[in-house]
Amino acid sequence: MSKTLETAIFLSMNGKAQDAINFYKKHFNAEQLMVVTYADMLKMGDKSREINDENKDYISHSVLKIGNTKVMIAEDTMDANEEYKVGNNTSLCVQSADLEEIHQFYDSLIADKRVRIIVPLASNIFSKAYGIIEDPFGIKIQLSFDERLK
């Protein structure tokens, strides 16, 4: 196992991500490490969602550090086919700066017939390898290569 491997808590906030970020910064002295809005994604060439005045400042991805724990916050649930509700708004995000390790985890997980693939592991605008699965217990797990962990 690599020394860069980490697991973070991921919270989906259904349009209230910035409020949640402000709340955790205020009450836990959380350090904001990163924030990417829908408008930022569009500027980076991602045209996967329609951007308008109402949602342009919505959070596509953010990372806060609370003590030694990272908390990621965004607007959307992991499965776009699910309606938002408390219960499907959390997931685990397993990250590593070891690309091969992320591929090994993904391959191992999808070999289990009980695992459902939500987003196949692939390169995207923010990661050389990113995917989402649902484990046999209903937990969504994001897998992500993140070279910043080196």
For the domain that residue 22 is a member of, what is the CATH number? 3.10.180.10
CA–CA distance from 46 to each of 18, 63, 95, 102, 142 (Å)?
A: 21, 19, 22, 23, 19
Closest CA to 61 of 43, 81, 38: 38
**Domain residues for 92?**
5-149
Tokens of 37: 């809005």
pLDDT digits (tens, 9 = 90+) for 1-58: 889 899 999 999 988 999 999 989 998 889 999 999 999 999 999 888 889 999 999 9
pLDDT for residue 88 is more than 80: no
- What's the structural domain count of the chain? 1
pLDDT for residue 120 is more than 90: yes
d(CA 39, CA 42): 5
pTM of the entire structure?
0.75
